[in-house]
Amino acid sequence: MSDLLDDARRRKETLKHMILQLHDGKAPDEVRSQLVQLLGSVPYNDVVEVEQELIAEGLPEEEVIKLCDIHSQALHGTLDLSQAKTAPPGHPADTFIEENRALQWEIKGLNKLYELISESTTQAELLEILIEIKERFNALMDVEVHYSRKENLLFPFLEKHEITGPSTVMWGKHDQTRDLLKKVMEALAELDRITPEQMPDLVENVLKPTSAGIDEMIFKEEQILLPMSLDNLSDTEWYEIYQQSPEIGFCLFDPAQTWKPENLPDETVETDVKGRVLFPSGSLSAAELTGILNTVPCDMTFVDKDDRVRFFTQGKERIFTRNRAIIGRKVQQCHPMSSVDVVEKILDDFKSGKEEQAAFWIEMNEQFIHIEYFAVKDENGDYLGCLEVSQDLTEKRKLEGQQRLLDYSK
pLDDT number for residue 34: 59
For 131-170, give the DSSP string. HHHHHHHHHHTTHHHHHHHIIIIIHHHHHHTT--HHHHHH
The model scores a pTM over 0.75: no
Residues 6 or more apart from 215 whose CB is under 8 A from it?
Answer: 103, 104, 107
Query: How close are the terminal C-alpha atoms of the chain, in Å?
Result: 80
Q: Which of 310-314, 319-323, 329-333, 374-378 has the highest mean pLDDT?
A: 374-378
Detail the DSSP E strand segments found in 332-408: 357-364, 367-377, 383-392
Q: How far is CA 173 from CA 63, 100, 143, in A?
A: 12, 16, 12
Q: Is the pLDDT of residue 382 over 80?
A: yes
Say if residue 166's pLDDT is above 90.
no
Q: How many CA atoms lie within 13 A of 393 on its CB side?
A: 13
List Cβ neighbours of 133 (8 Å cut-off, separation of 6 or more). Answer: 110, 113, 188, 207
Angstrom distance (rounded) from CA 81 to CA 33: 19
What is 276-395's CATH number, 3.40.50.620, 3.90.230.10, 3.30.450.20, 3.20.20.60?
A: 3.30.450.20
pLDDT band for position 386 (50/70/90)? very high
Report domain extents, the chain.
Answer: 12-80, 92-248, 276-395
Phi, then psi, of 367 in degrees rounded to 5: -115, 145
Residue 18 has pLDDT above 70, yes or no: no
CATH H-level, domain 92-248: superfamily: nmb1532 protein domain like (1.20.120.520)
